[in-house]
Amino acid sequence: MRKEKLSYCEAARQFEVSDSKRIASWERIYLTEGPEGLAIERRGRASAASGTRKGRISKLNKQWKRT
The mean pLDDT of 54-66, rounded to a whole number, is 52
Residues in the chain: 67
Q: Write down the pLDDT at residue 10.
A: 95
pLDDT of residue 21: 93
Per-residue pLDDT at 53 exceeds 60: no
Is the pLDDT at 41 greater than 60? The verdict is yes
Per-residue pLDDT, 50? 58
**pLDDT value, residue 60:** 54
pLDDT at residue 52 greater than cutoff 70: no
DSSP 3: T
- The CA distance from 30 to 48, in Å, is 25
